[in-house]
Amino acid sequence: MNAVVSGLSEALRSWAGVLGREYVDVDPSILKQASTATFETRARALAILHPATREDVQECVRIANRHRVPLYPISSGKNWGYGSRAPVHDGVLLDLGRLDRIRQFDPNLAYVTIEPGVTQRHLHEFLTSKGSTLWMDATGASPDCSIVGNTLERGFGHTPMGDHASTACAFEVVLPNGEIITTGFGQFDSARATPLSRAGVGPALDGLFLQSNFGIVTAMTVWLMPAPEHFEAFFFLCDDPRGLGPIVEALRPLKLNGTLRSALHIGNDYKVIAASGAFPWDRVGDGVLDEAVMVDMRARHGIAAWSGSGGLYGTRVQVREAKRLVKRALAGKVNQLRFIDDRRLSLMSRLARPLSLVTGRDINRLLNVLRPVYGLLKGIPTGSTIASAYWRKKTTVPEAEQVDPDRDGCGLLWCSPVVPMTGSAIAEVTDLSSRTLLDHGFEPQMSVSLATDRMAICVVTITYDRAQPGADAAALTCYEALAEALQEKGYPLYRRNIAKMTLAPTSSSYTHLLRDLKSALDPNGILAPGRYEPAAGVGDSALIRRRA
Ligand SMILES: Cc1cc2nc3c(=O)[nH]c(=O)nc-3n(C[C@H](O)[C@H](O)[C@H](O)COP(=O)(O)OP(=O)(O)OC[C@H]3O[C@@H](n4cnc5c(N)ncnc54)[C@H](O)[C@@H]3O)c2cc1C
């Protein structure tokens, strides 16, 4: 029996005493599900705890320390493509879903303070129920994803508030020793600017709790944006496979000068085809979609080599001017550029049938793809994108409430390098990714998100059916080969999955510091061991050597 398991039974008794027996899951079938992700994982969830308050969380942490049992916090545990709910090593999941209060809403200063169990759906419904004109940001993941969980992973969405880590502050954190702090001005009990500023006085601590295992966040403030006077989405198509670089070069000045305030997302043909329908099993059997099939599918579904979307936010005059600048920037670089606002979208919906007859295109099908993206640009969460995780499954996609890619054996791995926003860098990354995936027998689905003003995140998707013998191993081999090749070229991943969390960092001084921080904050190593940690043995620090 290993050390973790030996302390477990006593810890379970103590946790049940604090939380109540019904809030400590030990049912093997539930634990098996919780240890299952969208790719092969080996570690086991040994139990699942469901605290309801931050005091419960503190108590759970103290017990974990007493019995040396590792705890892995999750907010909604839908970290699909990066590890879902599964722990990095054997340990107990701390499911924060019951901490689901919106603690504070300030309509004038445009923020909410929320707990980890608050989902995208919950906040959207809350704002709607208040008749608020404030918009939240939403990711393309499920409406039932946690906003806190996504932010802590440095996730991103679609509106001007889409870079989540930079639009959140005042993290309330339970430290591994059970104490609580609030970051920023939260160090002062009475500071009225706590929810308004990421900086405090002195060193800023927020960053310590993003993609880390230094604390459990039990609340944070998330900023909202006032609905603009006018909003228009734009969509463009580019038939030239080499056309992405020039598009990025054309759009970057508009990002830097503030004309384009939100993230822009540009998907390749594979990505769009996967989002818009089921795999054509009749055409290719179990193989990879080859160029001949792609040509036909592009023609059939009106899909270009690259398809992009973005939003324009402001007064009517500002949006009109932004439109002019976008048109001018993209002239000659795209084959189609369309602007859509609420009025035009509702007109298209009403006239879908006659429009289909006149244009020969299935306008309803087009609207089904368009509407969710349009909504995301306004911060409206959607349940429609998750179907793409089932792309290589021969089974039908379950109804929205039943969707569960972990349970259904959907193979999904995201490999997400961070790239300078230049045409040449982005072309280098997309070419390398495309070649690597095809060489390993996977379709190279890719999107490029112009996430901030200067850098892009390229999300390369490895999608497969986990039921296919050997597919899990092949997918991880492909992921590893791509991650290493990208890092070598200067494009490390911005976010890691739990199977490959310990991709070695290159600077040993950086590693020393991380290790020193970890051992100072969590001397018993009970919080999420292995999560965003350097590989064992890499850069062992003086402090660790002293402690040993
Ligand atoms: C079709 C599809 C589309 C997607 N689109 C997007 C997208 O547009 N943008 C995007 O960013 N992602 C996207 N994803 C990826 C992923 O599903 C989301 O990022 C999702 O929000 C992460 O899961 P979660 O919110 O349930 O977080 P969780 O799984 O709860 O948390 C993620 C990790 O953060 C840590 N953590 C969570 N809560 C806490 C806490 N309170 N304290 C300390 N540590 C904590 C844990 O280590 C946990 O494993 C998509 C996935 C799919 C399948």
pLDDT tens digits for range 111-123: 999 999 999 999 9
Number of helices (H), then strands (E), in the chain: 17, 19
Q: Indicate which residue's Cα is closest to atom 13 of ligand 1.
A: 141
77 Cα to the center of ligand 1, angstroms: 7
Q: Which of 95, 102, 92 is nearest to 123 (CA)?
A: 102
Residue of 49, 139, 161, 521 with the most ligand 1 atoms within 8 Å of its CB, for mutation? 139
> Percent of the chain beyond pLDDT 70?
96
pLDDT-derived band of residue 297, with 50, 70 and 90 as boundaries? confident
412 Cα to the center of ligand 1, angstroms: 14
**Atom in ligand 1 nearest the alpha carbon of residue 147:** 25
**Atom in ligand 1 nearest the alpha carbon of residue 77:** 29
pLDDT-derived band of residue 501, with 50, 70 and 90 as boundaries? confident
30 Cα to the center of ligand 1, angstroms: 20
Residue 161 CB-half CA count within 13 A: 24
**Atom in ligand 1 nearest the alpha carbon of residue 84:** 29
Average pLDDT, stretch 302-314? Answer: 94
Note the residue count of the chain: 548
pLDDT-derived band of residue 539, with 50, 70 and 90 as boundaries? very low
**pLDDT over 90 at 203, yes or no:** yes
Please tell me the distance from the alpha carbon of residue 360 to that of residue 358, in angstroms, as a whole number: 6
Look at strands 71-74 and 264-268 and give their pairing.
Answer: unpaired
Please tell me the least confidently modeled range out of 30-44, 378-392, 463-477.
378-392
Residue 515 CB-half CA count within 13 A: 21
Burial track 105-117 (b if 16+ CB lie within 10 A, e otherwise): beeeebbbbbbbb
109 Cα to the center of ligand 1, angstroms: 27
**pLDDT over 80 at 523, yes or no:** yes
Q: Does pTM top 0.85 for this prediction?
A: yes
382 Cα to the center of ligand 1, angstroms: 15
**pLDDT over 90 at 1, yes or no:** no
75 Cα to the center of ligand 1, angstroms: 8
pLDDT tens digits for range 354-371: 877 777 777 777 788 889
**pLDDT over 70 at 429, yes or no:** yes
Average pLDDT, stretch 276-280? Answer: 76
108 Cα to the center of ligand 1, angstroms: 29
82 Cα to the center of ligand 1, angstroms: 8
533 Cα to the center of ligand 1, angstroms: 18
Who lines ligand 1 at CB under 6 A?
A: 73-81, 96, 116, 139-141, 145-146, 148-150, 152-153, 155-157, 216-217, 385-386, 388-389, 528, 531
> Percent of the chain beyond pLDDT 90?
80
Task: Give me the phi and psi of 236, to 5 degrees please.
Answer: -135, 155
Residues 440/481, Cβ–Cβ less than 8 Å: yes
pLDDT, position 503:
57
**Atom in ligand 1 nearest the alpha carbon of residue 152:** 34
Residues 523/547, Cβ–Cβ less than 8 Å: yes
Q: Indicate which residue's Cα is closest to atom 31 of ligand 1.
A: 149
pLDDT, position 38:
98
**pLDDT over 80 at 545, yes or no:** no
Within 8 A by CB and 6+ apart from 514, the residues are 533, 534, 539
**pLDDT over 90 at 6, yes or no:** no
Please tell me the distance from the alpha carbon of residue 406 to that of residue 394, in angstroms, as a whole number: 15
Residue of 118, 153, 462 with the most ligand 1 atoms within 8 Å of its CB, for mutation? 153
pLDDT, position 465:
96
115 Cα to the center of ligand 1, angstroms: 15
**Atom in ligand 1 nearest the alpha carbon of residue 218:** 41
Residue of 74, 161, 522 with the most ligand 1 atoms within 8 Å of its CB, for mutation? 74
